Amino acid sequence: MMANGSIDWMAKQLKLVPVSTCEAETAVASRAVKAGAFARELAIRNGIRIVGPTPTIGDNAAMHALIQHDGATQRTRYYERATMLIKRAVLLLLFYPYLIGTSDMAADIFTKALEKGLFVKFRNIIMNCHPNLRDSLMAARSTVHGEARLLIERLVAKI
């Protein structure tokens, strides 16, 4: 995403049969790093200055630990190319992985059935909806005066 708009989106079937969720997440993260590297280069070529690594988020603790540690293990040797791509991007400070909880992973709305509360939460995040914003602005309107009050009234009219 850039400027609250999508610049790359992909939905493809994996070319391997994963044995674990760590392996599946690593394969998908490898594709995400490739797409992210393209987006970074596209931004640089268009004169946008990029400072620091691009954040990547995931909710799989095993994959997060795998790409943070040096070297390969017996379990990762057969899908090492995908793992090494991510590790190299992290070492070159092109990407930085963040581990978040499953209750905060908005991408789960696309991959599994969710309970209604999580579905509504993730839908509001993805659609950029702020259901409590109007109430907050109405409460703030009663405490401010002058130019700030006019600004809040214009914002409430747009919501």
Domain boundaries, the chain: 1-113
* β-pairing verdict for 95-99 and 54-58: parallel
CA 154 vs CA 32, 71, 109, 157: distances in Å: 40, 57, 33, 5
Average pLDDT over residues 1-21: 77
pLDDT tier, 113 (very low <50, low <70, confident <90, very high otherwise): very high
Q: Which pLDDT band, with edges at 50, 70 and 90, does 79 fall under? A: low
Q: How far apart are CA 82 and CA 70, in angstroms?
A: 14
Write out the H or E segment, with its range, that includes residue 43: helix 21-45
Q: What is the pLDDT of residue 74?
A: 63
What is the predicted pLDDT for the residue at 114? 92
